[in-house]
A and B are shown apart, each in its own frame.
Chain A
């Protein structure tokens, strides 16, 4: 027997069972991304067109490396949550919805893992002097 009242069990959850957490996540990451977006464009824009060794050296420096990693991590988490709780929740339903949400999580975290791996390898690459 459950001693918890029905009201207590439902309180703060809302119809989505996640309360305001989703909205809060998107809002907080969007504030971060407003700052990160111009910095990211500067960091990446300065590297496109360079030869390979200079690309590695570019992202091996603290500012481009940290900004690019932060933007991709925060941006992809913002994308995963925004897509799953937004368009997918609205337009895809049932088993297809669950599979789409899994696919989005795999894509998003895959992009994060690949980017962090590449940036870490660049950061730990010693310049060939």
Chain B
């Protein structure tokens, strides 16, 4: 009989109802932050090129960079950069066979999340004081 055990088997996790584990979220965020950094580098390089173009071009780029939107992009980029960096360091440990146990991966995920926020706050403090 084909349906002897029907209803008693474990269900395959469907993607839409499957709660992603933390290491999966931090892993996906590594790719997302890597690509999202395009916005920050584009804004920054536009500002650099504008600085050697003309006073008008620089005024426009500098206004955008120092606007609330520019501050948001730069702060988010700083966080994305730290997140991607810390997560990248984890990958270097992974490459050497370290931190691959589930509990270690969870701990490292929290370390990356907390560390990236802390380093972003530290970067902003140094930026506004220095």
Contacts and interface: CB of A to CB of B under 8 A. Distances in A.
Interface in B41-83: 41-42, 44-45, 48-49, 51-52, 55, 58, 62, 65-66, 74, 78, 81-82
Taking chain B's interface residues, is the majority helix, strand, or loop, or is none over half, making it mixed?
helix
Contacts of B41: 72, 75-76, 111
Given A30-B88, A33-B88, A45-B127, A118 B51 contact: yes
A118 B45 contact: yes
Contact of B49 (A42, A45, A117): A117
Nearest to B62: A52
Contacts of A56: 51-52
A6 interface: no
A114 B55 CA distance: 18
Contacts of B117: none
A45 B66 CA distance: 12
Contacts of B37: 79
Size category of the binding interface on chain A: 35 or more
A53 to B, nearest CB: 9
Max chain A Cβ within 10 angstroms of own Cβ: one of B45, B58, B82:
B45
A36 to B, nearest CB: 10
Contacts of B55: 52
B130 A122 contact: no
Contacts of B127: 45, 48
B52 A111 contact: no
A32 to B, nearest CB: 11
